[in-house]
Amino acid sequence: MRKPGLTISFWALYTLAFTVGLPMIIYYSSGDIPETPGEPTNFTYLSIGLAIVGWLLVLAFYGRFYIKTVFTNKAEILKRADEGSTVIATITSKVQEGMMRHIAVLQLKLAFTNFSGTPVEVNYQLMDSKPEENRYEKGKMLELSVNMKKKGGQIVPKGVKVEHNVPMVYLYTFIFLVLIGVAVYFPLSEDWRYFVLPHPWTLIPLINLGTALFIGFLLKMIVNASGDKNSVRMVVYGLKVTADILSYQQTGMYINEQPQVAFNVEFTDKQGKRHSIVVKKIVSLLEVHKLETGPVEIMYLPEDPGTIVFYEDLSL
């Protein structure tokens, strides 16, 4: 059984060791630390200035993430669920993918008519805290709350209960305390004239900022490459038509060793206007040989026909 929380915990602690522990180990094991600090230079002041800005940014960004994750996200999800519009979906299939403690990770396929009058069938992952009650069996109805006020939108079951993942809360708290501890410890225990790059107090915030920017860029690149933008809006407001794949070719980009493929697609929208669009998505190596030109069902947004997704890829 898969345990996503364990994977996240491992990589979070690994990243913490790399961005906080490694700079200290390298610095204090180098043997190049002077017994007495030298006279401050312009580089000393520059290093301290960069470190102060870096620490303020690191603690502000992580503090905001910590407060939202631990304190405010639950209330926001429940509020948006209460304010959302109701959609009645039919469960057409159910697969249990794993367990997280006592919670079953379910992959459902839901069928319903969206707000544009288009029948859709989408994949939906759901965390079932009471799997013994068999509440999400094939053929049963599921009330969904749809709220598009927040960027990206939200679709959750009516009456959803949100629980904190306690081990993850402990993990985020531990990381936050480590960062605060490092930021405060060195100024209280060492002479400020030592704070010249690559001293850990000056280097750690810069490494953390660089790592955060790199991870953010990587995630954005993956989202763009996979073509998964506007997925909720597409499900809620999209229109389905039959398009033609004129040609396709690999772009040369790979995500997790899976190739990105660019499809040249043409379709006529409900207003009779013809569109020619290039759609890029990640394709499994096992599916590449199955690609072909010809008719294919797609979904497009009425207000933005340039945004489309293959119907078979529709998901939440």
**Cβ atoms of residues 123 and 91 within 8 Å:** no
DSSP at 70: I
Residue 232 lies inside a defined structural domain of this protein: no
**Cβ atoms of residues 4 and 125 within 8 Å:** no
**Cβ atoms of residues 24 and 202 within 8 Å:** no
Residue 44 burial (CB < 10 Å; 0-12/13-18/19+)? buried
Chosen domain end from 107, 138, 157 = 157
Distance of CA 171 to the CA centre of its chain: 18
What was the pLDDT predicted at 118? 93
Q: Do 120 and 20 have their domain in common?
A: no
Q: Which of 300, 306, 250, 245 is nearest to 280 (CA)?
A: 250
Which pTM does this prediction carry?
0.70
Beta bridge partners of 254: 259
d(CA 116, CA 124): 20
What was the pLDDT predicted at 31? 78
What was the pLDDT predicted at 1? 41
Domain count, the chain: 3
Q: Which of 207, 200, 210, 172 is nearest to 13 (CA)?
A: 172
With both helix axes pointing from N to C terminus, report the angle between 166-189 and 200-226 in degrees, rounded to the nearest 10: 150
Using only the alpha carbons of the chain, give its radius of gyration: 25
Residue 103 lies inside a defined structural domain of this protein: yes
Range of the domain at 287: 238-313
Tens of pLDDT along the chain (316 residues) come to 445 556 777 888 889 999 999 999 999 888 778 888 888 999 999 999 999 999 999 999 999 999 988 888 888 888 877 888 889 999 999 999 888 777 888 999 999 999 999 999 998 988 888 888 888 999 999 999 888 877 778 888 887 777 777 888 899 999 999 999 999 999 999 999 999 999 999 999 999 999 999 988 888 877 776 655 568 889 999 999 999 999 999 998 888 888 999 999 999 998 999 999 999 888 988 888 899 999 999 999 999 898 899 998 888 7
What was the pLDDT predicted at 225? 64
What was the pLDDT predicted at 193? 92
CATH number at residue 114: 2.40.50
**Helices in 68-138 by DSSP H: which ranges?**
73-83
Q: Do 73 and 88 have their domain in common?
A: no
What was the pLDDT predicted at 227? 59
Residue 35 lies inside a defined structural domain of this protein: yes
Q: Do 267 and 293 have their domain in common?
A: yes
Computed from CA positions of residues 113, 116, 121, 127, in that sequence, does the dihedral angle turn out positive or negative? negative
Residue written as token pair 């598009």: 148
What was the pLDDT predicted at 75? 82
**Cβ atoms of residues 154 and 80 within 8 Å:** yes
